[in-house]
Amino acid sequence: MRRPAPARTATMLAALTALTAMAALLLGGCGIPDSTGVKVLGNGQSADPAQDLDSPPPRPVTRSSTNDVAIFISNYLKAAAGDPDGAVQRAKDFMDPSFAATFKPSWWCGRPSSP
């Protein structure tokens, strides 16, 4: 009996590997259950301390407020949260100015952007 050519063996091995991967993905799904309820984790943190009438308003967090990457990302996500009407501009304030000038989201907060 003849042995298969090395190229043919490699092709068969690649096909077998691809089929195995596809079967695992199809059987495993994406990992997000489709029939479970919402899991409530509890109340979140307050964004800022309460402010009395005599205190000056808190300074807005800006792009240059921190050099720590984790804090920067947290500030960026907080800036984009809240009132949807100003969310795009608040997020753009954290972007590099050259990128922000050309940034036009196609979808934001579930609504199409206006042209």
Task: Give 41-79 pLDDT, tens digit per residue.
Answer: 776 666 656 666 677 776 777 888 888 889 888 888 888
Q: Is residue 3 part of a domain?
A: no
Using the Cα atoms of residue 45, residue 111, residue 73 and residue 49 in order, give the sign of their dihedral: negative
Residue 88 belongs to domain spanning:
69-112
To the nearest whole percent, how much of the chain has pLDDT over 90?
Answer: 1
Q: Is residue 99 part of a domain?
A: yes
Q: What is the mean pLDDT of residues 8-29?
A: 79
Number of domains in the chain: 1
Work out the pLDDT band at 115, boundaries 50, 70, 90. very low
DSSP 3-state assignment of 108?
A: strand
Q: Is residue 13 part of a domain?
A: no
Q: Is residue 18 part of a domain?
A: no
* DSSP letter for each residue of 19-66: HHHHHHHHHH--S--SS-----------SS----TTSPPPPPP-TTS-
Q: Is residue 60 part of a domain?
A: no
Task: Give the global pTM.
Answer: 0.42
- 26, 57 Cβ separation under 8 angstroms: no
DSSP 3-state assignment of 107?
A: strand
